[in-house]
Structure 1
């Protein structure tokens, strides 16, 4: 049997005569003939818990920032203060003294809503109207005359023309209450559709981590992580969202793809006093409990394929094939015939 030691990600051929050993071919029962001398260096097979963990740097803040841009031309007549919290039904900004209102939902406003139209965006609007206390209609996908009547009452309370029709630029949808992170415009500015007005975030403290696509295994929604704060304290967190971000390449280069991972914190009281800060986030991609492990460097790449270990028994050695599992922290999970905790295996010298 011919084998190669794995060293630093490379393989070094270890033929039957390596280190003065003469390793025989497997017997018919699957075992290997043993040699009378041992390797210069050895390691012990250990039973332990193994975890594939990595630490990445993230930014503690309020999660992903979203730009709110004007949807119509006019003059900015009111903006909220930075760090202000805006809830459902409240103005997010005013243009020509008419409010653009925050509502809750996942689907952005993209078309005019009026009597006769149908769709999930109609249902989303009706859910908000009902939550704000406007009734008299059925919450469904149909924009009926009863829906239009409720919209007129809503428009009257906002000081808007009572048309019963909702223009897409009249509302901004968000998942929930928002925090005004920064202002991009000032009262009195003339704006056009697409002019940035402000950036918004969520209201809960969160950490945003940018990962390479190669680290996708770490980014699983719902995964528990550990966040180390600048003062050394550690707080638990959970991956809430994972988004693919494609950034255009500079000077004609190919675009780059990354993963934006948002981590919500379950111990927010610990982060009081930190506005924005760099933090370390510990991700655990996989774990194994009570498995046999050896140093990765102890693995042999067998000429016939797969991996093996050089077992040292009573001063004699033999090569035995093994199955590998999780690789982590310089060790690898192994299993195979005759492999047990405390067994001694050869290491490259």
Structure 2
């Protein structure tokens, strides 16, 4: 049970410990109690301050960014439909590709065999009128004149022939052309014949049922006359078959498609040539159309290849809405709407000829709408204010926090920055200006 002295000692220690705990709890509780005035002081907003930004010196460029696509422009295809008769008779069973001498991206020049079908060449000549008929002896017209000019550009003159008339001089020039190409000369025959066993071959290589066999005929390569036992046929005149020539407005042209291989039957174009260089057309947001005018500088970037190029805005077209039939697309639904929003077509003229590597690519077009010639002082647009006197100014903050107003003239603005020129005061890069509070 212990002595009375021990019991009293333990009681005193317990009382002291309890008093200590109560004291600590009281102190902790007092920290949680706040008077109404203290609560108001704690929730009061901080003293007002200002937001500043530095004055910078840089070149300002206002740009408009859009997407664009390179196209091959106007194209012309070579699609043979028949095989011409020649002075060395041949009867092909079908139209089949017998040679491919070019590939995509190649530059095409005049009077060079690009492909061959059933032993006959396909070549290009300069001219704006497409080959819509066989050009034969005695024909007249603008396409004959075009042929004569093309032959003359190669050094094969038409002699005394009247311009636009396929006569003896033009015929001799055609013969010289095919000797240059290395192929037999295609021929056609006069309609008039002598004798009862004359041949009546056509430009397509087919004759009448009365045509004599090769054993009964003899062709004089000097005159082109075909002699048959019992009489003399008409003279065979040189011609230019529509299936063999492709007229292109300007040469050299560019090969954009060669979809065939040797041995393939001819069922479509053997090749396609671009009649001009690449064209670049962008889709400009109508809301930004007012910022872009012809003559503005343009930079082009192909993200796929890393190719860069430069040019200028050539034109900005009228508003196009996909699905309205004006952009060559069909409506996606009965309401006549299609994917994509309205745009203004923007064409770009290159500083140098577009690289053929850009053909068919979707690229980024950046138009420089405005720019400073050199680095200028600039501040955020929010730093410039206009007073009742219509003068613009900025507020400069000193090292000690002092503020003073500097009158400025605003210039080019770009990407949230504006060019400023101080009036009657000094302003240096690195100083800070008020942009908000």
TM-score norm. by structure 2 comes to: 0.46
Q: Over aligned residues, Cα RMSD in angstroms?
A: 5.6
Deviations 1:164-214 (A, max 9, x none): 6785983231643345444334554354xxx4443446999x8x8652234
Q: Check if 1:143 corresponds to 2:227.
A: no
- 1:156–1:180 CA distance, 2 compared to 1 (3 A): closer
Higher relative contact order (CA 8 A, sep 6+): 1
The residue aligned with 2:97 is: 77
Q: Which of 403, 412, 421 is matched with 1:315 structurally?
A: 403
Which of 52, 61, 85 is the matching residue for 1:51?
A: 61
**Corresponding residue of 2:218:** none
Secondary structure of the 1:184 match is coil
Larger gyration radius, structure 1 or structure 2: 2
- 1:45-86: per-residue Cα shift (whole Å, max 9, x none)? 4443223456777889xx737654355634353452534733
Q: Would the aligned equivalents of 2:130 and 2:247 in 1 still touch at CA under 8 Å?
A: yes
Q: CA deviation at 1:228?
A: 7.6
Q: What is the CA–CA distance in structure 1 between the aligned matches of 2:67 and 2:245, rounded to whole Å?
A: 39
For 1:257 and 1:278, locate their aligned partners in 2 and report how far apart those are by CA, in whole Å: 17
1:160 corresponds in structure 2 to 186
Candidates 261, 264, 271, aligned match of 1:198: 271
Unaligned runs of 5+ in 1: 1-37
Counterpart Cα distance in 2 of 1:302 and 1:79 = 79
Work out which of the residue numbers 323, 337, 355 in structure 2 matches 1:253: 337
Q: Give matches, 1:260-339, under 5 Å.
A: 261=348, 284-290=368-374, 291-300=376-385, 308-312=392-396, 315-317=403-405, 322-325=409-412, 327-334=413-420, 337-338=423-424
Alignment CA distance shift 1:315-1:224 (3 Å): closer
The change in CA–CA distance for 1:184 and 1:307 in structure 2 (over 3 A counts) is farther
CA distance in 1, matches of 2:425, 2:293: 34
Question: Counterpart of 1:212 in 2: which secondary structure?
Answer: strand
Contact 2:298–2:312 (CA under 8 A) maintained in structure 1: no
SS at match of 2:419: strand
Q: Name the CA shift for 1:329/1:79 in 2 (closer, same or farther; >3 Å).
A: farther
Determine the C-alpha separation between the residues in 2 that align with 1:64 and 1:241.
18
Aligned equivalent of 2:320: none
Aligned-partner Cα distance in 2 for 1:299–1:249: 49
**What displacement does 1:149 show?**
4.8
Greater strand percent: which structure?
1
- Between the two proteins, the alignment pairs up a number of residues equal to 291
Deviation, structure 1 residue 89 = 1.3
Instruction: Describe the shift of the 1:48–1:188 C-alpha distance in structure 2 as closer, same or farther (beyond 3 A).
Output: closer
Q: Does the 8 A contact of 1:66 with 1:199 survive in 2?
A: no
Task: List aligned pairs for 1:168-207, cutoff 5 A.
Answer: 170-173=245-248, 175-185=250-260, 187-191=263-267, 195-200=268-273
Distance 1:267 1:160, change over 3 A: closer
Task: Tell me the residue number matched to 1:212.
Answer: 283
Q: Paired residue for 1:103?
A: 125
- Counterpart of 1:132 in structure 2 is 154
Query: Which of these residues, 287, 299, 311, is aligned with residue 239 of structure 1?
Result: 311
Matched residue, 1:348: 436
Q: Kindly tell me: are residues 156 and 50 of structure 1, through their superposed partners in 2, closer, same or farther at Cα, counting changes over 3 Å?
A: same
Shift of 1:88: 1.6
- Aligned mates of 1:109, 1:241 — CA distance in 2: 31
Distance in 2, Cα, partners of 1:301 & 1:73: 76
Q: List gaps (5 residues or longer) in structure 2.
A: 1-47, 83-94, 188-236, 318-325
- 1:7-26 aligned within 5 A: none
SS in 2 for 1:91: coil
Give SS of 1:248's match.
coil
